[in-house]
Amino acid sequence: MASDQDASSSNSCNFNSTLRTCYKYDIFLSFRGEDTRKGFTDHLYYALKRSGFSVFRDDEELEREVISKELLQAIEDCHFAIVVLSKNYASSSWCLNELQHILYSRDNLCQQVFPIFYAVDPSNVRNQKGSFEEAFVGHQMLQRDNKVLKSWRESLTKVANLSGWDCKDR
């Protein structure tokens, strides 16, 4: 289990936000499809469903750049978010944008966020090393805006500082 390294990253709500008691879904599942869709994430999704949770999972296979308003609303309509951080998670601008909105919901809407480090070292996520570093090299080659890159890096650091599960690929 990864530990909280920064007390300020504990899951506390903005006092100006209203506590929500009604959610459309229990859990929003964020993952890199090509890494885990047909294995780990499918098993997790069906296990959660069997346990009685309503789970939102974006099932479309295509990589997209712009997240729809409906997907942003689905993130906000969930009490919990599970973020499966896998080897190629950071190579997807879609995943990184989704993560940013999940963390916005955590900070402003009292959503609980649980990271799963699937076959990646939490410190590589936190410090953008290994495949996470390679992903940012790729984003830079695509001439992504430096402000956006900085924001994505901060989001990865923030989620990696949360308590979560470290799942080694066996």
Reduced to 3 states (helix: H, G, I; strand: E, B; else coil), residue 113 is: strand
pLDDT band at residue 38 under the 50/70/90 scheme: confident
Domain 21-167 CATH superfamily: Toll/interleukin-1 receptor homology (TIR) domain (3.40.50.10140)
- Mean pLDDT (whole number) for 38-62: 86
Least confident range from 27-36, 83-92, 123-132: namely 27-36
Q: What percent of the chain has pLDDT over 70?
A: 81
Say yes or no to pLDDT of 17 above 50. Answer: no
- Mean pLDDT (whole number) for 38-43: 91
- pLDDT of the residue at 59: 62
Residue among 30, 57, 61, 32 nearest 46 (CA): 57
Q: Tally helices (H) and strands (E) across the chain.
A: 7, 5
Calpha distance 83→40 (Å, rounded):
12
- Mean pLDDT (whole number) for 58-63: 54
Say yes or no to pLDDT of 161 above 60. Answer: yes
Residues 6+ apart with CB under 8 A from 14: 107, 108
- pLDDT of the residue at 10: 41
- For the chain, which residues make up each domain, given as ranges? 21-167
Residues known to be catalytic: 98
Question: In this predicted model, what pLDDT tens digit does every residue of 98-155 receive, in sequence order?
Answer: 999 999 999 999 999 999 999 999 999 999 999 999 999 999 988 888 999 999 999 9
Say which DSSP state 164 is in. Answer: B
- Residue 11 tokens, joined: 């899951």
With contact defined as beta carbons under 8 Å apart, do 77 and 110 qualify? no
- pLDDT of the residue at 55: 94
Q: Using CB atoms within 10 A of its CB, is residue 92 exposed (0-12), middle (13-18) or buried (19+)? A: buried
- pLDDT of the residue at 51: 96
* Average pLDDT of the chain to the nearest whole number: 85
Calpha distance 74→122 (Å, rounded):
27
- pLDDT of the residue at 85: 97
Calpha distance 6→137 (Å, rounded):
27
Report the largest interatomic distance among the alpha carbons of the chain, rounded to a whole angstrom.
44
Give the rounded distance of the alpha carbon of 71 from its chain centre. Answer: 13
What pTM does this model have? 0.83
